Amino acid sequence: MVQLVQKYLSINNYKDQTEEFEDLFQSHPDYPSLFAITDTFDLLSIENVAVRIQKEQFSELPDSFLAAYKNDIVLITKNGDLIDIESKNEGKKSLSFDDFTQNWEGIVTVIEPNDRSKIVSLKTNSNWYSYSLAILALVVVSFVYNSYGISEILLLLTSIAGFVFSVFIVQEKLGVKSEIVSKFCNISPNASCDSVIGSNKGEINKWVNFSDLPVLFFGVNLIAILSNPSGSSLVIGLLSLVSIPVILYSIYVQKWQLKKWCLLCLTISFIIIFQSAVFVFMRESFVYNSSSLFSYLFSIILIGAIWLSIKPVLTGKMKAEKEVSKLKKFKRNYKILNFLTKEIPVLAGLNKLHSLKFGNIDADVELLIIISPGCGHCHKAFADSLELITKYPEKVSLNVLFNVNPENNDNPYRIVVERLLEINYTKEHLVLEAISDWHIKKMGLDKWLEKWNVGPIGMKVNQQIELQYNWCFENQFNYTPVKIVNNQMFPSEYELNDLRYFLSDLSEEKSLRKVV
């Protein structure tokens, strides 16, 4: 289901948010429900709507959307008079409108297309460019120091291709998703690389399984042929020919046991068969020499050692990420947050405090932070708070109070609070810039005071500093930052960034309180 929604996001120009969607969606407490999908869209600030419509309104829907079909979430694409349906369980198929509506529940989820130009992330592509350049460099060096015939060139090219597809298989086995591989593996409704590669039919022992064999085989072949083209070609050709029974067994498992085709596996099989054909039809060009076996054995030891060292690390990393996802799911449970939330000890007097106010004052989620200009952790607290109201301007408002002892004349940062409050009273439109200069840009004290020279400090500023300090003292807030949401203490076990997970719950809870 994740891949279907990611594809839907890509169709609507949200490709740069597909990875973040997967993380947020899979850690959602209601995963994999429709609510988890729409709530994750909300977290990503993607305009969306999930509604039940009549069949007569189908023509008003966009060309692509998500729908509830046969108790599953599927991706729907209009294709003339046909409806293309793509699901995790059944793959792709096309139906007439009448056939589609027989099992369609009328529920659709639609997102607003992203018309803004996006900077495409090149991280993954950059990695592949680096790997490609490394292989190309090895090939160039090998061509400089060795002589290649047609058969050696064919085996080299097919070994490179086989190694690339082998890496794709390992990625699928570890759960690392790729959009290109996903499209390739789902060309046919009967194809599912994930089902085949993830099957326990491929387990050989606790160290090696069938998904490891291609990367080991082609990795060894590649190193061997680059180091000794003429000597290694004979061994590669023979081993390719000997591997054909393994290929036949793989096809048997896919066809009759799993009843799904792994297109990556079939591609690997084709490459090995092609290498076997090169050996059979061009065997006159293969020459055995004393270094043939040595070169191949050296490559086996090298690649085997590298793979046995890397595989536990990769497997451990993926297991750790899955555990983190489970913990996130637990942490994002609103009942857990509610259990850890505490009442403010002394709420009386809070309405007399004049805070710095940012964002939508009518927002359902009211965030209050109590900070101090000399507190390093307060920089992050304010930055996180500002990010929340920037990302969710209609849902979150921010109030800022200060906890500074008015009688402590040795505190060099008290003047920062005085000037911020004075600006808030006299030039409120500048207070966001002023506090951002201090907590986000982290200007030095002298530079900040030079920029924000507001003249004499009014009496009401000093009164507010004292009122805010006394209120904090009553509540035993002898630390900063203090985080309060809707007049309740935000649990210290959560970061302010985590508040975004609960915006819908907090809004719903506030609405219920109004009704009561």
The residue among 111, 133, 153 that closes a domain is: 111
Position 194, amino acid: D
Determine the pLDDT at residue 286: 65
In a domain, 118, yes or no: no
Ramachandran area for residue 78 (φ above 0: left; ψ -120 to 50: alpha; else beta): beta
Same domain, residue pair 465 and 510 = yes
In total, how many domains does the chain have? 3
Choice between 485 and 89, residue whose per-residue pLDDT is larger: 485
Does residue 179 lie within any of the structural domains? yes
Tell which of 304, 328, 352 closes a domain: 328
Torsion angle, alpha carbons of 26, 27, 29, 35, to 10 = -50
Which whole-number Å values give the CA distances from 339 to 208, 333, 490, 491, in the listed order? 46, 10, 11, 9
Residues 130, 332: Cα–Cα separation, whole Å:
38
Phi, psi of 105 (to 5 degrees): -85, 0
- At 423, which CATH number? 3.40.30.10
User: 436: Cβ–Cβ under 8 A, 6 or more apart, which residues?
Assistant: 386
Same domain? For 100 and 6 the reply is yes
What is the domain-level CATH number for residue 265? 1.20.1440
Assign 128 a pLDDT band (cuts: 50, 70, 90): low
Q: CB neighbours of 312 closer than 8 A, spacing ≥ 6?
A: none
Q: What does the pLDDT look like over 290-306, one tens digit per residue? A: 666 788 888 899 998 99
Domain endpoint, select from 54, 82, 111: 111
- Would you say residue 455 lies in a domain? yes
Question: What are the backbone dihedrals phi and psi of residue 209, each rounded to the nearest 5 degrees, phi first?
Answer: -135, 180
Average the pLDDT over each of 134-143, 384-393, 406-415 and give the range with the smallest value.
134-143
Domain span at 75 = 2-111
Same domain, 308 and 365: no
Q: Which residues, other chains included, contact 299 with Cβ-Cβ below 8 Å and sequence gap of 6+?
A: 219, 220, 221, 223, 224, 227, 232
Residue 348 and residue 322 share a domain: no
Q: What is the pLDDT of residue 121?
A: 42
Looking at the domain assignment, is residue 116 inside a domain?
no
pTM: 0.67
C-alpha–C-alpha distance, residues 406 and 417, integer Å: 10
**119 within some domain:** no
What would the pLDDT profile of 355-387 be if each residue is shown by its tens digit?
999 999 889 999 999 999 988 899 999 999 999
| Residue 289's pLDDT band (cuts 50, 70, 90) | low
Domain annotation covers residue 462? yes
CA 218, chain centre distance (Å): 30
Specify the 3-state DSSP secondary structure of 478. coil
The token pair at 57 is 């309104």
pLDDT of res. 514: 65
3-state helix, strand, coil in the chain (%, to 5): 60, 15, 25
Q: Report the length, in residues, of the chain.
A: 516
What H or E segment, with its residue span, contains residue 482? strand 482-485
Residue 203 and residue 150 share a domain: yes
Say if residues 86 and 77 touch (Cβ distance below 8 Å). yes
Residues 131 and 103 in one domain: no
Query: Over the stretch 185-203, which tens digit does the pLDDT of each residue have?
Result: 877 777 778 778 877 665 6
37 domain-assigned: yes
Residues 308 and 428 in one domain: no
Would you tell me how many other CB atoms lie within 10 Å of the CB of residue 416? 23
Supply the CATH number for residue 105's domain: 3.90.70.10
Say what the pLDDT of residue 315 is: 85
* DSSP conformational letter for 257: I
**Whether residue 279 has pLDDT greater than 50:** yes
DSSP label at residue 82: E
Domain annotation covers residue 338: no
pLDDT band at 122 (very low <50, low <70, confident <90, very high): very low
Task: Give yes or no: residues 90 and 153 share one domain.
Answer: no
Q: Which range has the worst mean pLDDT, 276-280, 479-483, 507-511?
A: 507-511
Residues 6+ apart with CB under 8 A from 326: none
Residue 457 exposed, middle or buried by CB count within 10 Å (0-12, 13-18, 19+): middle
With 0-12 / 13-18 / 19 or more C-beta atoms within 10 angstroms meaning exposed / middle / buried, residue 150 is exposed
186 and 72 within one domain: no
Euclidean distance between CA atoms 42 and 45, whole angstroms? 5
Structure tokens given for 278: 């090169």
Residues 64 and 190 in one domain: no
Shared-domain flag, residues 386 and 468: yes
Say yes or no: 324 and 458 in one domain.
no
What contacts 24+ positions apart, CB below 8 Å, involve 138-146?
138/226, 139/226, 141/226, 142/225, 142/226, 142/227, 142/229, 146/228, 146/229, 146/230
Strands 64-69, 72-79: parallel, antiparallel or unpaired by DSSP?
antiparallel
Q: Which residue shows structure tokens 């920089």?
A: 379
